[in-house]
Amino acid sequence: MANVSSLLSDERIQYDGYFNLSELYTHVFNWLTWRKFDVAESKYSEKVKAGGKDLQMIWNASKSLDEYSKFEVKLRWDLSGIRDEEVKKGNAVVKMQRGEINVYVTVNVVTDRQDFWAQNAFYSFMRAFYDRYLYRSSLKQLKGEGWTIGWELFNEIKAFLNLYRY
């Protein structure tokens, strides 16, 4: 079984106001793919209510670092009360959305990502030895990089949403 080290656990971005959902969606997707992450949307649900739409999306992004380890980023989007409205920007009228957004960011480092070392007790012992003595400094460096990537993504989403406040 793969060993998972959690670096960020459901760090929450909260926003309430005007935004462009398609631009936000595209921006975050491009940000992840630019950093060589494979992005998959594992859940998309939409409920139409009288006060607006409720959306829930879950993205799983992963990036293989080597044969032994990888980064996993999980984004959970909870959008509620989403309504389409027309907003005047300069001299033009632009169609935007208004509502509440909650984005939860989780980042993990996964070692033994192919479950090779979990086949029997001897391999499991060898994996523990490898992790503790041989791969320790590399794993420490990977945890630092993963933590940095997680907070950069968090701040990027937050900054993108704050563009609409001004």
**pLDDT tens digit sequence for 11-57:** 999 999 999 999 999 999 999 999 999 999 999 999 998 888 999 99
Contacts of 52 (CB under 8 A, 6+ apart): 80, 81, 82, 83, 99
What pLDDT shows up at residue 118?
74
**What's the whole-model pTM score?**
0.87
pLDDT at 86 over 80: yes
Selection from 3, 1, 5 nearest residue 147 by Cα: 5
